[in-house]
Chains A and B, each alone.
Chain A
């Protein structure tokens, strides 16, 4: 993580090393990525199991997906880290504070995707937005879009499941963030903030000098992000892929169709109920989604499951409890869950 001593070494590398090193790393990445299938078949053949048995299928899925997801994740986090170095919560707030409300919702959702913030600072961020006069609903659009249509989830969906489903997810995730924020804005929920937040009158925004970063600095930020995020999520990736591998190898298709097929109407709400308490991140859940879809689970049900895992998480609610009353948290969950249910039912009906 960031406290390791080796972290400080690359900071002192000269700029040209970055401009040479990053393309070289890109070529190595590409070569490794092209070897994934031969590698997984080779490993599976080494083990004393038949390739077409249940265990053979599960093992092949696992040894193919683990390096693939880690490689994709490194690439996505790096590119995102570099792009996000042009954004900051302070700039986002300045943009949103000056906007008319109706344009604010989609803009907030868009900025939610690009603004770097970690869940540990979501409380100061929330207060900073609200105290700058940004409407509560617009703030919610921002907070929903961040995790819901994050680049990690989209990129992995693209790499593991395909561009069609990634695009559907993007459009509907973005729409839910925008519309849910708008609905909550219309409900006039300001009175359900915790008392101290409403009374809070923050001083002027801390005026920070604009940092001038060279492109090499931005590349460094990208690499720091890769170190930090991969160090944090690799365990979720391995757990998620293990579950995906078990589904891929052992769950019979007939059973999957009965539980998560389009015929079972109750499967959509059930997927949401199961998804909310599950605490993982996009990197952990998408291998499961890949296996579910491969076994014939209905798209709507699977989308609903994925969205509720990613966008509605209990730990985040506990953090937000500092600024929101239970009543407001309940409204937040209800509105977002309604959007997810609508998406799930819609796709189960039209497909």
Chain B
């Protein structure tokens, strides 16, 4: 079970990133729990400046724009 955090104030890209994470997890047959972090303060505390940011099991792996689908799978399976 992986815990994935998506950092973003709720713009379209953040929703798109979340969909991509679900798709990647389905492809890998993994179970993920997605937590959306929308509060500006918490986003800043995580060291994210460009949204959406993605952290897997507490480790920040991506910030700014949509991730590459292939890379997303490699982060989730790491």
Report A's interface with B, CB cutoff 8 A. Answer: 1-3, 8, 11, 88-90, 93, 116-118, 120-121, 123-125, 127-129, 131, 196, 200, 202-208, 221, 224, 322-323
Beyond A88-B64, A208-B63, is A128–B69 a contact (Cβ under 8 Å)? Answer: no
CA distance A226 to B26 in the complex (A): 30
Residues of B near A196 (CB, < 8 A) are: 41
CA distance A118 to B63 in the complex (A): 13
User: Would you call B47 and A204 a contact (CB within 8 A)?
Assistant: yes
Beyond A206-B63, A208-B63, is A11–B46 a contact (Cβ under 8 Å)? Answer: no
Beyond A2-B66, A90-B63, is A206–B53 a contact (Cβ under 8 Å)? Answer: yes
Residues of A near B1 (CB, < 8 A) are: none
In the complex, what residue of chain A is closest to B14 when comparing beta carbons?
A120
User: Would you call B60 and A88 a contact (CB within 8 A)?
Assistant: no
User: Would you call A3 and B16 a contact (CB within 8 A)?
Assistant: yes
CA distance A128 to B44 in the complex (A): 6
Interface size class of B (residues with CB under 8 A): 20 to 34
Residues of B near A323 (CB, < 8 A) are: 40
Residues of B near A127 (CB, < 8 A) are: 40-41, 44
Nearest-CB distance from B41 to chain A (Å)?
A: 6
Residues of B near A322 (CB, < 8 A) are: 40
Nearest-CB distance from A302 to chain B (Å)?
A: 33
Nearest-CB distance from A71 to chain B (Å)?
A: 25
Instruction: Determine which of A11, A118, A200 lies in contact with B44 in the assembled complex, contact meaning CB atoms within 8 Å.
Output: A200
Residues of A near B9 (CB, < 8 A) are: 120-121, 123-124
User: Would you call B48 and A120 a contact (CB within 8 A)?
Assistant: no
In the complex, what residue of chain B is closest to A90 when comparing beta carbons?
B49
Does B61 lie at the interface of the complex (its beta carbon under 8 Å from any beta carbon of A)? yes
Residues of A near B64 (CB, < 8 A) are: 88-89, 116-117, 121
User: Would you call B63 and A200 a contact (CB within 8 A)?
Assistant: no
Does B6 lie at the interface of the complex (its beta carbon under 8 Å from any beta carbon of A)? no
Instruction: Determine which of A1, A93, A200 lies in contact with B41 in the assembled complex, contact meaning CB atoms within 8 Å.
Output: A200
Beyond A88-B50, A202-B45, A203-B47, is A123–B62 a contact (Cβ under 8 Å)? Answer: no
User: Would you call A124 and B48 a contact (CB within 8 A)?
Assistant: yes
CA distance A240 to B7 in the complex (A): 34
The 5 A-B pairs at the shortest CB distance, nearest first, are namely A206-B47, A206-B60, A128-B49, A127-B44, A120-B11
Beyond A89-B64, A207-B60, is A124–B12 a contact (Cβ under 8 Å)? Answer: no
In the complex, what residue of chain B is closest to A119 when comparing beta carbons?
B11
Residues of B near A118 (CB, < 8 A) are: 11, 13
User: Would you call A202 and B47 a contact (CB within 8 A)?
Assistant: yes
Complex interface bits, B50-78 against A, C-beta within 8 A gives 1, otherwise 0: 11010100001111111011000000000
Residues of B near A203 (CB, < 8 A) are: 45-47
CA distance A89 to B61 in the complex (A): 15
Residues of A near B61 (CB, < 8 A) are: 208
Beyond A2-B13, A3-B15, A128-B44, is A93–B62 a contact (Cβ under 8 Å)? Answer: no
In the complex, what residue of chain B is closest to A322 when comparing beta carbons?
B40
A-B contact pairs, 6 of them (CB 8 A): A89-B64, A120-B13, A124-B49, A128-B49, A206-B60, A208-B61
User: Would you call B44 and A202 a contact (CB within 8 A)?
Assistant: yes
Nearest-CB distance from A106 to chain B (Å)?
A: 22
User: Would you call A11 and B69 a contact (CB within 8 A)?
Assistant: yes
Residues of A near B62 (CB, < 8 A) are: 208
Nearest-CB distance from B15 to chain A (Å)?
A: 7
CA distance A90 to B51 in the complex (A): 12
Q: Given A123-B9, A128-B48, A207-B60, 5 more contacts at CB 8 Å?
A: A3-B16, A89-B49, A90-B63, A116-B65, A121-B9
Residues of A near B13 (CB, < 8 A) are: 2, 118, 120
CA distance A123 to B68 in the complex (A): 25
Nearest-CB distance from B68 to chain A (Å)?
A: 7
In the complex, what residue of chain A is closest to B60 when comparing beta carbons?
A206
In the complex, what residue of chain B is closest to A2 when comparing beta carbons?
B16
